[in-house]
Structure formats: structure tokens, C-alpha cells
Amino acid sequence: MKSKFKFIFILIMVAFIYSQAKYVNNGLPYYSIQLSTRIPKSSDASINNLQQSVIRASIITKTKVEFGIEFAPGKYVSDLDIEDTQISQFRLGLNIHNKGPNSPFTMEIGGKYKRTNYENYNSTYFTDINISEDAEDIYSNAGIIDISIYEPIFQKGKLILIPFFNFNYEIRVLTSSDPAFGDEFDKSSEARFIGTSFGLGLSYNKFFMETTLNETEGSPNFWFKIGKLFNTKGK
């Protein structure tokens, strides 16, 4: 991957990326609300230091098809006396869960659209990227395909423990403008990312909590999530 594409960062993926249908059985439709957070990797100025939160809402059908929408603000932070680069992300996704009659685990296949806007762009965080400090309207559009496997390893009453593994593939198009070339000048670049993640989910009485370790382009990051499920009968 060319270094100039790395600033388009990652995510993700997560939780998004990771859906919540794993915590329900076929039957009633459910609604879900979740909060996730990512803690910066270190205190120096680099693309690894993204501090981000995710707010996600989804609906899960009787057959465990899940539709989700996410909003994810964030910023690149450091101990240096420089302005933080801020981002805002919007994500829209669909996940399908299925377990074959002889399969030892459940498989989840999903697709997602992701839009990222960059504000207060500071090239100090992206020293290996050939983007002008004066560039404006920096944003990216991305399509993501992810495949996950999971299965409960412990269940007692309403308490359920579920490990999971995820593989995702992302195609992202970054677009920016440069005032030196006029307001109508745009340039776009395409980047492709492969990511893997594994984590552990804990569910009790429709509340759930997850910890996830994600790696994209050799950069590991840790996510923590909490959420609540609601079925259509309010139980």
C-alpha cells in the first residue's frame, strides 16, 4: 500500500462493524443501541493516535438480518503543541447471520458504506503523505465487505460468553481540493485495506459488552463497546 494512502485510516472496523445479532435468537425482531470507544495508541503525532467514539443503532429481523446506522466523531491527538485533526464518519450497513445444520459456528456476512470528512487538517500527523497543508474539503467514501464467525462458549441462565473473529476488505476513494488550483479542482485516489479482528462478547439480560483487538495495515488498535437490546414487545 502506498504510504500516501495511509492517512485515510481505518477503522474499524469494528463495531462495526461488529453487529449485535449474535446476542439474540431467531424469533422476535430486536432493536439495538451501542456505544464504542477507541483509545489513542501513543502520545506522539501519528496516524495511529486516533481517539474516536461510535454511536450505533440497528434493527434485527426475525431471521437475524441486521440493518445498522452509525455516527463516529473523532480526532488525532498528541502531546505536541499542534492543532488536532478532527474527523466525522457516517456508516450504513447490512449484516446477515446464518448457521448451517452441521456447522460448529455461526457465520456473519456484511456490507457497509462509510463516509469520512476531515477538518482542521494538520500534516504533522501524516508526515509520509503527499497532501498539501492548504488542501481543503478532504473526505473519503468507502465500501466494506466483512465476514465473521462466532459461537457461544459458555452459557448459564441469561449469561452468555461469545468469542468472535472478523475479516474485512475495504475499498476507499479519497478526494481533496487545493486552493492553489481553484475552487473547482478535485483530485481522487483509491486505496484498498485488509483488516482482521478478534474479540470477546459478554451478554446478560439483553445488555452486552465487547472488547475487540483490530489490526489494519499493521497497526493494532483496541475498542471497547457497551449496548442494550430491546425486543418489539418491550421485554
Burial bucket for residue 110 (CB in 10 Å: 0-12, 13-18, 19+):
buried
Enumerate the domain spans of the chain. 3-231
SS3 8: helix
State how far the Cα of 142 lies from the Cα of 226, in Å rounded to an integer. 26
Please list the pLDDT of the chain residue by residue as tens digits (235 residues).
Answer: 444 433 333 333 333 445 666 777 666 688 888 898 876 665 554 555 677 899 999 999 888 899 999 999 988 776 666 667 788 999 999 999 888 888 899 999 999 999 988 887 665 555 444 455 566 677 889 999 999 999 999 999 889 999 999 999 999 887 777 655 555 556 666 778 888 999 999 999 889 999 888 876 556 778 889 999 988 765 5
State in words which class domain 3-231 has.
mainly beta
